[in-house]
């Protein structure tokens, strides 16, 4: 069995099976057998089933949120928001799956039809930072269009995934269509890659593991969707509304303690507003409270010791390279809890020579850099292998649009700290991966267009 720990206390909060190779194979057997039946189920039934999963999630909002907080650590209100966000993916998939429709045309006396068929048995591998939502994106789309799915959640947060599986079955998903397998990532990964019946793998996680999976997939030409790491820039222009710019930063940066793929990791602030922005942000960040996610705090623990050490290392490295810490810089000690509570930290005079500018910190750290010219900010913002999200803070519509167009990433928030919603595509460019989740395009990842041309 695998023990699941509360990252705030290190108490065991659950145990899940360590799936054996035979069990993973059995899940694939069942998913493969179920595939044609689920694909043949009429679209309206599938759509209703997916909508019923959304209802099931909303009905269990509080207990599910508690489960997320227990194994992942984020404050309860954020877990509740995650349940809502996850449910919205099922609602959108339910709606969009009814609009797929085949295309037909007559050309040169031939009758040609393009059918959008479910790609086949699929697999999903998901990270720990949003244990419910990252899985919901994949399961909602797969189930809605008629694919079976084998799911492997992160080993730190498997309990939420198991519960989602139960809710889906209660909502009407046949038992053999959706499988949650928990255990050792490498072993489960190997079993999935070696099974030629698997037709698609959707992965959300680090760029490092994504790259590894891409090489494995190449060997058998397995289609992948990769939602990988990010290193979002936030550009604050002189004409920004100060309060709104600070609010955007507080939400986008400190949500989930900075453990989000779309968190701003490089904050570029124009000279005219720089000092006022820093003062206002420092005042707000310093007031953030830390503690157990059940205790009405702003920040929970980070996921494990390695995460806490990496954050500290990034801060120390920035200081070594000339960064100036104006708030935080260390860890908070909270009686009775683990030492995984990095202080909200603001570092000035940061730049590309520092690790925090090159790697994801995945913590409550704001590296800030002053700039003068728009072009300089855009060049710095795009100088990264990543390309997931970016943010702009300005009161000029023209400037906002121009910079949004210039940013080399998949999602841009102009004065918007939460640009990701279930109705529209979410995903990155460059080393942040490929494939899209959300909206109509999110379903395409689980469909293959098949052309049937008839001569009569």
Site pattern 137..166 for ligand NAD (x: CB under 6 A): ---------------x-xx-----------
Pick out residues in 323-382 that bind ligand NAD (CB under 6 A).
360
Residue 295 within binding range of ligand NAD, rule CB under 6 A: no
From the list 96, 227, 360, 437, the catalytic residue is 227
In angstroms, what is the minimal distance from the CB of 164 to ligand NAD?
Answer: 14
- Rounded alpha-carbon distances, angstroms, from residue 283 to 27, 193, 204, 315: 52, 50, 34, 19
Among candidates 226, 216, 215, 202, which has minimal Cα distance to 388?
226
Pick out residues in 234-293 that bind ligand NAD (CB under 6 A).
261
Residue 415 within binding range of ligand NAD, rule CB under 6 A: no
Instruction: Quote the CA–CA distance of 364 and 278 in Å, as a whole number.
Output: 15
Question: Which residue from 209, 269, 411, 431 is in contact with ligand NAD, where contact means CB under 6 A?
Answer: 209
- Do 247 and 285 contact (CB within 8 A), yes or no? no
Closest CB to ligand NAD among residues 165, 428 = 428
Residue 409 catalytic? no
Residue 126 within binding range of ligand NAD, rule CB under 6 A: yes
Among candidates 138, 145, 149, 56, which has minimal Cα distance to 96?
145
In angstroms, what is the minimal distance from the CB of 443 to ligand NAD?
Answer: 17
Chain centroid, CA 411 distance in Å: 12
Residue 204 within binding range of ligand NAD, rule CB under 6 A: yes
Among candidates 293, 285, 294, 301, which has minimal Cα distance to 342?
301
Residue 97 within binding range of ligand NAD, rule CB under 6 A: no
Among candidates 283, 241, 269, which has minimal Cα distance to 415?
241
Instruction: Quote the CA–CA distance of 342 and 360 in Å, as a whole number.
Output: 15
Instruction: Quote the CA–CA distance of 397 and 15 in Å, as a whole number.
Output: 52
In angstroms, what is the minimal distance from the CB of 204 to ligand NAD?
Answer: 5
CB hemisphere CA count around 167 (13 angstroms): 28
Instruction: Quote the CA–CA distance of 427 and 361 in Å, as a whole number.
Output: 20
From the list 147, 261, 366, 409, the catalytic residue is 261
Residue 147 catalytic? no
Residue 124 within binding range of ligand NAD, rule CB under 6 A: no
Question: Which residue from 165, 183, 229, 323 is in contact with ligand NAD, where contact means CB under 6 A?
Answer: 229
Instruction: Quote the CA–CA distance of 357 and 368 in Å, as a whole number.
Output: 10
Question: Which residue from 178, 228, 356, 403 is in contact with ligand NAD, where contact means CB under 6 A?
Answer: 228
- Do 178 and 165 contact (CB within 8 A), yes or no? yes
At which residue do the structure tokens 């057997």 appear? 29
Instruction: Quote the CA–CA distance of 34 and 148 in Å, as a whole number.
Output: 7
User: How many amino acids of this chain bind ligand NAD (CB under 6 A)?
Assistant: 26
Residue 189 within binding range of ligand NAD, rule CB under 6 A: yes
Site pattern 169..188 for ligand NAD (x: CB under 6 A): ----------------xx--
Active-site residue numbers? 227, 261
Q: Which residues bind ligand NAD (CB under 6 A)?
A: 125-129, 134, 152, 154-155, 185-186, 189, 204-206, 209, 212, 227-230, 261, 360, 388, 428, 432
């Amino acid at each position: 069995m695998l023990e699941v720990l509360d990252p705030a206390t290190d108490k065991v909060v659950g145990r899940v099976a360590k799936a054996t190779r035979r069990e993973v194979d059995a899940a694939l057997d069942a998913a493969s057998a179920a595939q044609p039946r689920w694909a043949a189920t009429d679209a309206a039934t599938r759509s209703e089933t997916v909508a019923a999963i959304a209802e099931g999630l909303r009905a269990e909002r509080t207990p599910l949120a508690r489960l997320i907080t227990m194994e992942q650590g984020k404050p309860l209100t954020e877990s509740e928001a995650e349940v809502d966000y996850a449910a919205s993916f099922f609602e959108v998939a339910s709606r969009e799956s009814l609009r797929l429709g085949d295309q037909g045309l007559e050309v040169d006396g031939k009758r040609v039809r393009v059918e959008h068929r479910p790609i086949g048995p699929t697999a999903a591998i998901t990270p720990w930072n949003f244990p419910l939502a990252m899985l919901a994106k994949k399961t909602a789309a797969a189930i809605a269009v008629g694919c079976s799915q084998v799911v492997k959640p992160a080993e730190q947060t498997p309990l939420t995934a198991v519960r989602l599986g139960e809710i889906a079955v209660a909502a009407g998903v046949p038992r053999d269509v959706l499988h949650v397998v928990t255990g050792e990532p490498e072993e489960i990964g190997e079993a999935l890659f070696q099974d030629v019946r698997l037709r698609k793998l959707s992965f959300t996680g680090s760029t490092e593991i994504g790259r590894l999976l891409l090489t494995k997939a190449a060997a058998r030409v397995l289609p992948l969707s990769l939602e990988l790491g990010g290193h979002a820039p936030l550009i604050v222009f002189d004409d920004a509304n100060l309060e709104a710019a600070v609010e955007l930063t507080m939400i986008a940066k400190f949500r989930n303690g900075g453990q989000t793929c779309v968190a701003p990791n490089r904050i570029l602030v124009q000279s005219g507003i720089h000092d006022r922005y820093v003062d206002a942000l420092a005042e707000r960040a310093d007031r953030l409270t830390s503690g157990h996610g059940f205790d009405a705090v702003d920040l929970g623990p980070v996921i494990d010791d390695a995460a806490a050490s990496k954050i500290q290392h990034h801060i120390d490295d920035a200081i070594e390279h000339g960064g100036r810490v104006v708030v935080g810089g260390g860890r908070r000690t909270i009686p009775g809890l683990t030492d995984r509570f990095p202080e909200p930290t603001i570092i000035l005079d940061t730049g590309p020579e520092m690790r925090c500018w090159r790697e994801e910190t995945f913590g409550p750290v704001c590296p800030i850099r002053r700039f003068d010219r728009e072009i300089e900010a855009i060049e710095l913002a795009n100088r990264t292998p990543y390309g997931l999200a970016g943010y702009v803070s300005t009161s000029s519509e023209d400037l906002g649009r121009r910079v949004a167009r210039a940013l080399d990433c998949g999602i841009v928030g102009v004065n918007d700290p939460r640009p990701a919603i279930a109705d529209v595509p979410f995903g990155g460019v460059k080393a942040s991966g490929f494939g899209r989740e959300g909206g109509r395009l999110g379903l395409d990842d689980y469909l293959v267009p098949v052309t049937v041309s008839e001569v009569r």
